């Protein structure tokens, strides 16, 4: 066998060298580009799985309220079996406590009717102290009922009209004064005399004074609460 001629070797070298170079260049380019393509493909696949995967729940379409079916009746459930009627008498905490015998049953223009059956008429007032009822005429020392209101528009009577309060013991804690149809402030002299007896004062119209006495005397007792009331028909002036 003869060795290849120099012309044949030159032709083979020319044919083989460009092919090898192109192959190497293509391989290098592939190695540089492949990682980027792989990462991009991974991101795309992850995004596709995130939004298009059948495993994750899809958002529910909200139905407008106007398109919803309307109820066919006004029933909201089974009928209530319990008794819902409220007994107002059961709310009265003083309902089982007997009222004092001197409680005022009615006030009239010229007197009073008490729970014990006593009727005070003829324009007389009444003083209720310690479970007892006394006729009360605070205008007797003045001459007329109109003179119980002084020139300053104050209720002013002599000390003698409070004589019963100074005799009872223990003295009541509160005195409720009913001044007929209207109310007037106490004069400084009258207020001072009652305060010296150690008794507090509350001024009301006669009708309100009777209601207040009935409630407080029932709650606290007749020894703690006293009342002095002029008939509701008196207007002062």
- The 10s digit of each residue's pLDDT in 96-143 is 566 688 899 999 999 999 998 899 988 999 999 999 999 999 998 887
Output the average pLDDT for the chain: 77
Q: CA 68, CA 63: separation in Å to the nearest integer?
A: 7
Size (the chain), residues: 237
With a cut of 90, say whether residue 27 has pLDDT above it. Answer: no
| Whole-number pLDDT of residue 160 | 92
Q: CA-to-CA distance for 215 and 100, rounded, in angstroms?
A: 10
CA 216 vs CA 1, 27, 116, 220: distances in Å: 147, 110, 18, 6
Distance CA 231, CA 181 (A): 8
Rg over alpha carbons for the chain, rounded to the nearest Å, is 54
For the chain, the distance separating the N- and C-terminal CA atoms, rounded to the nearest angstrom, is 162
Mean pLDDT, range 30-55, rounded to an integer: 47
Predicted confidence at residue 89, as pLDDT, reads 59
Task: Give the pLDDT of residue 119.
Answer: 92
| Burial (CB count <10 Å: 0-12, 13-18, 19+), residue 228 | buried
The H-or-E segment that residue 200 falls in is strand 200-204
Backbone phi, psi, residue 107, to 5°? -115, 130
Over 60: is that where the pLDDT of 12 sits? yes
> What Cα–Cα distance (Å) separates residue 94 from each residue in 224, 226, 237?
17, 19, 38
The burial of 102, by beta-carbon neighbours within 10 Å (0-12 exposed, 13-18 middle, 19 or more buried), is given as buried
Contact call for residues 176 and 202 (beta carbons, < 8 A): yes
The C-alpha angle 215, 237, 112, rounded to 5 degrees, equals: 35
Sign of CA dihedral 198, 202, 207, 212: negative
Summarised one tens digit per residue, pLDDT across range 200-233 is 999 999 999 999 999 999 999 999 999 999 999 8
Which architecture does CATH list for 98-229?
A: 3-Layer(aba) Sandwich (3.40)
């Amino acid at each position: 066998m003869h060795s290849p001629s120099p012309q044949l070797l030159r032709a083979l070298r020319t044919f083989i060298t460009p092919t090898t170079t192109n192959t190497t260049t293509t391989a290098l380019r592939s190695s540089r580009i492949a990682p980027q393509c792989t990462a991009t493909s991974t991101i795309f696949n992850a995004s596709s799985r995130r939004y298009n995967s059948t495993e994750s729940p899809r958002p529910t379409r909200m139905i407008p309220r106007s398109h919803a079916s309307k109820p066919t009746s006004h029933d909201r459930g089974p009928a209530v079996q319990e008794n819902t009627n409220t007994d107002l008498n059961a709310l009265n905490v003083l309902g089982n406590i007997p009222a004092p015998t001197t409680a005022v049953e009615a006030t009239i223009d010229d007197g009073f009717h008490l729970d014990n059956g006593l009727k005070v008429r003829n324009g007389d007032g009444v003083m209720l102290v310690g479970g007892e009822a006394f006729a009360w005429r605070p205008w007797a020392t003045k001459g007329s009922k109109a003179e119980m209101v002084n020139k300053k528009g104050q209720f002013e009577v002599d000390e003698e009209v409070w004589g019963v309060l100074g005799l009872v013991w223990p003295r009541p804690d509160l005195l409720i004064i009913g001044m007929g149809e209207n109310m007037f402030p106490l004069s400084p002299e009258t207020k001072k005399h009652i305060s010296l007896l150690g008794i507090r004062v509350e001024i009301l119209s006669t009708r309100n004074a009777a209601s207040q006495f009935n409630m407080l005397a029932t709650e606290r007792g007749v020894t703690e609460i006293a009342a002095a009331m002029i008939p509701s028909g008196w207007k002062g002036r």
